[in-house]
């Protein structure tokens, strides 16, 4: 067995569902796959002494899961007062409209098409519910509408798909762009350095107890992959599919379609910077 303390970000072992910090509880959605890892993490966030809660990423349109989220909050003496989305991919957002029906809440997101209610989310916004404070951090790159939520009271950040609890994420070209993603990772690194964030509450996979280590790993991984793609193109691999087959030869072939999205984003980045 590999010691988790030597893995990037120091992932926690054990059951994924349940309390993660003093203010954040995970309810794992039943949608495991190669892309979603163990399933989508739906986060219930609230002040310990408050009767109000915020839910981040209700997850897929699965009635049992959505009701389980409501029941989990109610068993803790909480009423869901607001729903937030980190981004619009279906494994995070498809159930949001139905969840809003079940809870009578608004849905706030960066993308207006995902909102229910007049109020969206933007850089610098601070969400306050029942004494809870969540700071909106723009982190485009995985998708154009990706956001993270800084939970300063727990020195934690909810990262959606920008940082995962295991492995690395896809830059979902053409909506996602590598330059944006690298800037977003640097923004998250600043949170760990300047704001003392040490815990990552990801959209998939286990909680990470070394946020700075996770960000540094992601930055190093992206630099390594970018160099590999640049070398592959110089060696005559011209199409994204050819580059994937060469650079990702050791990766499960079921993940190659997703890897091709990232390769397209990397090739675009290299072209924009005059490197290929």
Q: Which of 92, 90, 91, 73 is nearest to 82 (CA)?
A: 73
Catalytic site includes residue 91:
yes
> Which residues face 202 on adjacent strands?
160
CA 122 from centre of chain: 17
Torsion sign (Cα): 33, 148, 196, 201: negative
Query: Which member of 91, 161, 175, 180 is catalytic?
Result: 91
Strands 52-56 and 79-84: parallel
Report H helices in the chain: 63-75, 90-93, 96-103, 178-194, 211-234, 240-247, 256-272
Which residues are known to be catalytic? Answer: 91
């Amino acid at each position: 067995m590999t010691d988790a303390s030597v893995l990037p970000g120091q992932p926690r072992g054990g059951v994924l569902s349940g309390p993660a910090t003093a203010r954040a509880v995970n309810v794992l959605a039943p949608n495991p796959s190669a892309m979603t890892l163990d399933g989508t993490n739906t986060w219930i966030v609230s002040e310990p002494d408050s009767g109000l809660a915020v839910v981040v990423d209700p997850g897929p349109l699965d009635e049992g899961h959505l009701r389980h989220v409501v029941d989990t909050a109610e068993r803790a003496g909480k009423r869901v007062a607001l729903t937030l989305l980190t981004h619009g991919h279906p494994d995070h957002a498809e159930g949001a409209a139905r969840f809003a029906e079940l809870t009578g809440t608004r849905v706030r997101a960066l993308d207006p098409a995902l909102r229910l209610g007049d109020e969206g989310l933007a850089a610098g916004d601070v969400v306050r519910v029942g004494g809870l404070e969540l700071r909106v951090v723009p982190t485009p790159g995985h998708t154009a509408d990706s956001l993270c939520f800084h939970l300063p009271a727990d020195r934690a950040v909810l990262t959606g798909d920008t940082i995962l609890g295991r492995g690395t994420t896809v830059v979902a070209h053409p909506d996602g762009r590598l330059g944006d993603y690298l800037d977003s990772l640097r923004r998250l690194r600043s949170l760990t350095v300047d704001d003392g964030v040490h815990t990552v509450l990801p959209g998939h996979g286990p909680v990470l107890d070394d946020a700075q280590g996770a960000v540094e790993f992601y930055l190093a991984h992206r630099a390594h992959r970018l160099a590999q793609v640049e070398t592959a193109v110089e060696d005559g691999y011209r199409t994204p599919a050819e580059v994937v087959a060469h650079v990702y030869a050791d990766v499960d072939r079921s993940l190659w379609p997703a890897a091709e999205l990232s390769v397209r984003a990397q090739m675009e980045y290299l072209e924009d910077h005059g490197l290929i």
